[in-house]
Amino acid sequence: MGVMDLTEIIWCKHCNTVNYLDPYTFWNWKGKVKCAGCDRVYYVHIIQGFYYEGPKEMPPGEPYDIMPLYADKPLEGYESYKPGTPGRTRPYLCLPREIYLGKADKVKFSIRGRPVRGWAPQPPSSGLAGSQGFKWDIEKLSPDVWKEYQVKLRKGEVREW
Ligand SMILES: [Zn+2]
């Protein structure tokens, strides 16, 4: 886990579990983290990726704010708790963010308002293997883009250069 190389840890002496505080979440963070291996809770205050305070063990039964993303047990052949283990680790929700889950925007017009060729899909009637040579009959092949283009022409949004 490459991202875990740059992070603080909580090494729980009760169960010998190393809890990794991923920098994405804990870069500037203050609160209580539950050990993935047992019920112990540790207070930490991290500023720019390094401990400012802690980890400080809290009394048994202390409520916690968050679980680690990943943990392992180096003394037991690196048995590990992968992200999203119920009751032990958080699911990995950092990526992809919602804004990256949409469909790609197809660019249909150049900056000068002229139709561009490089977008897909085009209708299947465009010849053998989609080939059109140098002649691209936009009106026939892409009637919706053609209509959009006519509107742009009327509005004066198409420039020569
Ligand atoms: Zn523990």
The pLDDT tens digits for 17-52 are: 999 998 888 989 999 999 999 999 999 999 988 899
Whether residues 74 and 21 share a domain: the answer is yes
How far is it between the farthest Cα atoms of the chain? Answer: 77
Q: Final residue of a domain: which of 95, 118, 153?
A: 95
User: What does the DSSP 8-state code read for residue 66?
Assistant: B
Whether residues 12 and 90 share a domain: the answer is yes
**Rounded CA separation 43/105 (Å):** 45
Sign of CA dihedral 69, 22, 1, 35: negative
At 125 the three-state DSSP class reads coil
Average pLDDT in the 98-119 region?
66
> Where are the alpha helices (H) located in the chain, listed in sequence order?
23-26, 138-141, 143-154
How much distance in Å is there from the Cα of 95 to the middle of ligand 1? 27
**Rounded CA separation 26/50 (Å):** 9
Whether residues 138 and 82 share a domain: the answer is no
Structural domain count of the chain? 2
Predicted pLDDT of residue 101: 56
CB-count exposure of residue 155 (10 Å: 0-12, 13-18, 19+): exposed
Per the listing, tokens 């579990």 go with 17
Whether residues 88 and 149 share a domain: the answer is no
Domain, as residue range, for 39 = 2-95
How far from 111 is each of 117, 119, 142, CA to CA, in Å? 13, 15, 19
Whether residues 46 and 108 share a domain: the answer is no
CB 36 within 8 A of CB 88: yes
**Rounded CA separation 7/20 (Å):** 7
How much distance in Å is there from the Cα of 78 to the middle of ligand 1? 15
Q: In the chain, what percentage of residues exceed pLDDT 70?
A: 73
How much distance in Å is there from the Cα of 111 to the middle of ligand 1? 59
How much distance in Å is there from the Cα of 11 to the middle of ligand 1? 8
CB 49 within 8 A of CB 7: yes
Whether residues 59 and 38 share a domain: the answer is yes
Q: Per-residue pLDDT tens for 48-90?
A: 888 999 999 999 999 999 999 999 999 998 799 998 999 999 9
Predicted pLDDT of residue 123: 54
Q: Final residue of a domain: which of 55, 78, 95?
A: 95
How much distance in Å is there from the Cα of 2 to the middle of ligand 1? 23
Whether residues 113 and 86 share a domain: the answer is no
Residue 2, pLDDT > 70, answer no
